[in-house]
Amino acid sequence: MNTEINETMTSIFGNATISHVSGNPHSHQSEFEILPIVGFETAIEEISQWDGYSPTPLYSLKSLAESLSLGEVLYKDEGSRFRLGSFKALGGAYAALCLLQKQISFTLNHEVNLKDIRVGNYAEEASEITLVSATDGNHGLSLAWGCQRFGAPCRIYIHSKVSEVRADAMRHLGADVIRIKGDYDDSVELARNEAERNNWFVVSDTTWPGYS
C-alpha cells in the first residue's frame, strides 16, 4: 500500500516546482484560541469511544520526499474512517453531537453529557432537533452519518455539480437531500434561510458574519 501511494504521488508531482515565501508568524498558538486544549481532549475522549473508531494510517512517502528534495512527506489516509470514504469524517459528526448537547441542555435546563446523547438516553429530545448544512459531499456525509448515529433529523443541501453518487450516499445515511440549480454559495444561502424559517440548526463547514 505504501509503495503504491509513493508511486502515485510521485507521478502526480512529477512536474511540480517548489517555492518559498518568508513569513513572520505570531508566536501565540491561534488554534488554541478557537479550541482550547481541553476542547481537544474532550473531542479525543469522546470520538475514540464511537463504535468502529480506530486510528487511521499515517504513511511516510520516502520516494516522493526524495524526488522533491524534502526531508519527509507524511500522508494521512482518512479514506477508511467509518467506511465513509471522506477526509472529513469526524468534524461534521462531532459538531452535530456538540450542538445536540447544547440544545438539549438548554431545553431541559440542566447539563447533559456527550456520552448520554451517544448511547441514546436523550433520543426523544434529539429527534426533535433538525440539523442542516450545504455541502460538496464530504462534510455532508459526516453530518448525515452523525445525525443517523445520534438520532437527529438531517437535511443536506447540494448544488448542481455534486455527484448523484454522493447524494445517494447521504440519503443512505438517512438525510433528506435537497438539490438546487445554483452553485455552492447558493446552497449555503438556502440552507441558512430555511434553517432560520423553520428553527433548524446549521452545522456548516464554512462561515459568515454572525455564524459560530
Q: Which CATH architecture has domain 91-202?
A: 3-Layer(aba) Sandwich (3.40)
User: Tell me, what's the pLDDT at 145?
Assistant: 96
Q: Domain locations in the chain?
A: 1-9+32-77, 91-202
What's the rounded mean pLDDT across residues 192-202? Answer: 96
Q: How buried is 136 (Cβ within 10 angstroms: 0-12 exposed, 13-18 middle, 19+ buried)?
A: middle
User: Tell me, what's the pLDDT at 86?
Assistant: 80
Quick one: pLDDT band at residue 35, thresholds 50, 70, 90?
confident
Query: Which region among 66-80, 92-106, 179-193 has the lowest average model confidence (pLDDT)?
Result: 66-80
205 is catalytic: no
C-alpha dihedral sign at 107, 113, 115, 121 = negative
What's the rounded mean pLDDT across residues 26-42? Answer: 75
Task: Tell me which DSSP letter residue 57 carries.
Answer: P
Quick one: pLDDT band at residue 39, thresholds 50, 70, 90?
confident
Answer yes or no: is pLDDT of 154 > 90.
yes
What's the rounded mean pLDDT across residues 99-105? Answer: 97
Cell of 149: 448515529
Q: Which residues of 143-156 are buried (b: 16+ CB within 10 A; e: fewer)?
A: bbbbbbbbbbbbbb
Residue-wise pLDDT tens digits, 161-173: 999 999 999 999 9
Of residues 88, 115, 168, 176, which has the active-site annotation? 88
Q: How far apart are CA 178 and CA 181, in angstroms?
A: 10
Q: How far apart are CA 59 and CA 74, in angstroms?
A: 6
Quick one: pLDDT band at residue 18, thresholds 50, 70, 90?
low
User: Tell me, what's the pLDDT at 88?
Assistant: 83
Query: Which region among 81-85, 106-110, 111-115, 152-156 has the lowest average model confidence (pLDDT)?
Result: 81-85
88 is catalytic: yes
In 3D space, the residue among 99, 170, 178 whose CA is nearest the CA of residue 138 turns out to be: 170
Answer yes or no: is pLDDT of 45 > 90.
yes
Of residues 136, 161, 168, 186, which has the active-site annotation? 136
Give the pairing type, strands 74-76 and 58-60: antiparallel
Mean pLDDT, the chain, whole residue set: 88
User: Tell me, what's the pLDDT at 24?
Assistant: 66
Quick one: pLDDT band at residue 28, thresholds 50, 70, 90?
low
Query: Which region among 18-22, 87-91, 95-99 has the lowest average model confidence (pLDDT)?
Result: 18-22
